[in-house]
């Protein structure tokens, strides 16, 4: 028989260990070991690249040097990573490195282009006359303080405005037809839109030149150029708008139909307001495509050094055509004016993108500031009316 120890002789249970302090896991970012590995790989690959180019191999050229350095950098970083981490971690870090380097390369190229245009065109853009005068009374050897691109800026804005007025309703209507209406004609329309997306810009200019100018006898003008830009912008707007409309949840449509709404009311009051931010992006993509086209404008609007604010009559120059005409001349001031016009074109595109983000960035269902202020005033008035109205008296009777 085994004797059982009395309760007083039993060993006390060990006290629970205090909870260890929680450690915050770092899911993103680079550690010190990662930074040292990157720096060592970059320095080692640069030294090896210099040794190959300058001492061992008959290579030359800055572009080849940079490409070889990048390839050696990836190989060196992979070798250094295999000494520290497991294969899965190494692959993940390699993919991250390639993604970051590609993004930095794109940003660097964009900054290089903007900086180059800014440096070349600053001599002309820093004078006020560039934005207030045309080239009507300016010769090839005139000083930089004479002449400007006002006629081209006005022409670009008017042509782009008319093209947007024509292309956006047609493009969104075609997108609504393909995504909401459908039927037998949806596939041919989609095929035609996809084919027009890859249409060369010179073909659009030739189409308007042959149909509008040569066949119907219309003169070269800003309106003809806007028609050519419409042909270029409409498929871009249509494809982007169709994708955005298809992303609207089907439950919203079903709720509208359940409340008795027709298909037209559902599209106008539910689908399009919900897809508004994406539709604004589609419009801006089309405008960015049209504002920089040169060949359609060259064939349909002609070139003039004077000011023409009437797009319905007479030749009208635009910024891309202004740049194309003056950048090829052998006079430094003319080339500076062309680069200043390119800088103005980039500023216009930037303004368009910012305006699109402001107009289309508000989520669907959120009221504008004016409507919100109006609703707040109505709510305050209703509260004041309830405060002074005796109980049991209907609204409006106490006034």
Residue of 114, 37, 130 whose CA lies nearest to 79? 37
The reported pLDDT for the residue numbered 173 is: 92
Neighbours of 293 (CB within 10 A): 24
CA gap 173, 189 in Å, rounded: 12
pTM of the model: 0.73
Helix ranges (DSSP H) in the chain: 32-51, 62-82, 87-125, 129-132, 150-176, 186-197, 201-208, 222-246, 250-258, 263-266, 272-274, 276-291, 295-300, 319-326, 332-360, 369-388
Task: Give the span between the Cα atoms of 285 and 279, in whole angstroms.
Answer: 10
pLDDT score for 2: 47
Mean pLDDT by 10 residues, the chain (399 residues): 49 52 56 84 90 81 86 91 88 90 92 92 89 87 88 92 92 91 85 87 90 89 92 91 90 89 88 87 87 88 88 90 90 91 90 75 58 79 75 52
Given this model, what pLDDT does residue 304 score?
87
CA-CA-CA-CA dihedral for 197, 285, 310, 320, to nearest 10: -80
Whole-angstrom distance, CA of residue 344 vs CA of residue 155 = 13
Query: What does the pLDDT read at residue 217?
Result: 86
Amino acid 398: pLDDT: 47
pLDDT of residue 112: 92
């Amino acid at each position: 028989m085994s004797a059982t120890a009395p309760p007083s002789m039993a060993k006390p249970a060990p006290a629970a260990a205090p909870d260890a302090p929680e450690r915050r896991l770092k899911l993103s970012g680079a550690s010190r070991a990662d930074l040292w590995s990157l720096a060592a790989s970059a320095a080692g690959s640069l030294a090896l690249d210099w040794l190959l180019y300058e001492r061992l191999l008959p290579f030359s050229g800055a572009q080849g040097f940079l490409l070889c350095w990048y390839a050696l950098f990836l190989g060196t970083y992979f070798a250094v990573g295999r000494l520290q981490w497991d294969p899965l971690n190494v692959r993940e870090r390699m993919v991250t490195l390639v993604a970051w380097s590609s993004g930095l390369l794109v940003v660097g190229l964009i900054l290089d282009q903007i900086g180059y245009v800014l440096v070349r065109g600053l001599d002309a853009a820093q004078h006020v006359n560039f934005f207030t005068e045309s080239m009507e009374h300016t010769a090839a050897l005139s000083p930089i303080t004479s002449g400007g691109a006002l006629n081209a800026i006005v022409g670009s804005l008017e042509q782009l405005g008319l093209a947007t007025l024509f292309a956006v309703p047609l493009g969104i209507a075609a997108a609504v037809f393909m995504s909401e209406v459908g039927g037998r004609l949806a596939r041919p329309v989609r095929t035609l839109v996809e084919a027009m997306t890859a249409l060369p810009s010179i073909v659009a200019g030739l189409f308007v030149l042959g149909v509008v100018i040569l066949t119907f006898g219309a003169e070269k003008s800003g309106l003809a150029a806007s028609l050519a830009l419409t042909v270029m912008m409409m498929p871009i707007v249509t494809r982007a708008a169709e994708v955005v409309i298809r992303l609207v949840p089907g439950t919203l449509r079903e709720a509208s139909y359940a409340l008795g709404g027709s298909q037209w009311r559902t599209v106008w009051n539910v689908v399009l307001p919900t897809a508004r931010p994406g539709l604004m992006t589609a419009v801006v993509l089309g405008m960015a495509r049209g504002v920089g086209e040169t060949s359609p404008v060259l064939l349909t609007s002609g070139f003039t050094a004077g000011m023409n604010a009437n797009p319905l009559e007479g030749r009208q120059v635009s910024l891309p055509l202004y740049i194309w005409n003056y950048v090829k001349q052998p006079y430094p001031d003319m080339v500076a004016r062309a680069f200043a016009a390119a800088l103005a074109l980039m500023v216009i595109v930037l303004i368009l993108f910012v305006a699109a983000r402001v107009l289309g960035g508000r989520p669907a269902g959120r009221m504008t500031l004016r409507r919100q202020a109006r609703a707040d005033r109505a709510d305050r008035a209703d509260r004041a009316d309830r405060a002074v109205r005796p109980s049991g008296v209907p609204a409006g009777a106490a006034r």
